[in-house]
Amino acid sequence: MTRRCDHHEDFHVAIEDPSVLELRSSLTQRKSVAGSERLRRLEHLSVLDSYRFYRPDDVIGGTSAAIIHGIPLSHRLPPRRTKRTRADATGREFDARLSLGAPGAPVRVEVWNTRRAYTSRWVVRRQAALDATQRARWQGVPVTSAPRTAIDLARIGTALDGLVACDWLLADAAGRRGHDGRLGMRDRLTEAIEECSGLRGVSRARAALASATGLAESVSESLALHRLKEHGLSDVRQQVVIRDSENTAIGRVDFLVEASDSTPVVIEVDGAVKYAGHHLVDAAVEDNPLFREKKREDALRRMGYRVVRLVWADLWDSSRLRTRLREAHIAC
């Protein structure tokens, strides 16, 4: 349920979270990527919780499990002109990106089942056998563990989908238990891959985990790391704190690489959300994010750093990204 209907009052009891209605109402006035995603996740959780046709051997998996665990998806699609596909065993190409879909669109429950695989209006069943180490429980229903879910996202989607999931799990583990937590989560992800050995898509999962560092702070940063490595940049440092000659911190940068002429290059991934409502730069307003970013960038340039700012469209257009990097004398 995503909105009230005066003709079907009996269904009002299905709405347990009033914030769903408030968010739906606000979206009619103001479009927000974060708000739309939150609403869509609430819709999924509502369907997953109210679905009453789970079989005894069903295990919630795929994007449904990702929503339960809070794992982000590479849901923001590239520009229309960019078509990313992969081929199945028959050579037929299809779009492999995972997406929650738009708010209000039908929701399908995704489950793994040991005996059967089929798709209907309400459920997508994929066939797989899962032992107890790869399962958890949610609302009394079995669900794939977080590590297994991340590996499955790479297998049924793309290496990028898996990278985003693995990055998030590593960062979450590090935030809760420090460096040992990150190492422990990497071991669990590796074990999940070994459990899938021989299954379709496991090579994508291996590539995703190999690229994941747990240092990305957003989906766009995970995507940026993925693209930089695709362009041959192997020595990429993340979340580096830059200090001046007096050891004063200038700021923490997303990525730091070295140009072909040995000049250090800062690569920043910009998002429009943090600049919302700040289209004009007012030098008198210190809390203006555009003003703070400009001050920091000026300080970095004075210290001899080149600065490359990338936006979402740059990351999806390979030739455009290569041009941006070469302009900064980065060999790719």
Residue owning tokens 């738009």: 102
What are 297-313's pLDDT values in tens digits? 888 999 999 999 998 88
Rounded CA separation 146/66 (Å): 7
Put residue 268 in one of left, alpha, beta given phi > 0 → left and psi -120 to 50 → alpha: beta
Query: Using an 8 Å Cβ cutoff, are 321 and 280 in contact?
Result: no
326 vs 188: CA distance, rounded Å: 38
Report the sign of the C-alpha dihedral through residues 39, 40, 43, 44, in that order: negative
For the full predicted model, state whether its pTM sits above 0.85: no
Q: pLDDT-based confidence at 35, cuts 50/70/90? A: confident
Q: What average pLDDT does the structure give for the chain?
A: 81
Which pLDDT value is given to residue 275?
A: 38
Dump pLDDT digits (tens) for 264-273: 999 999 754 4
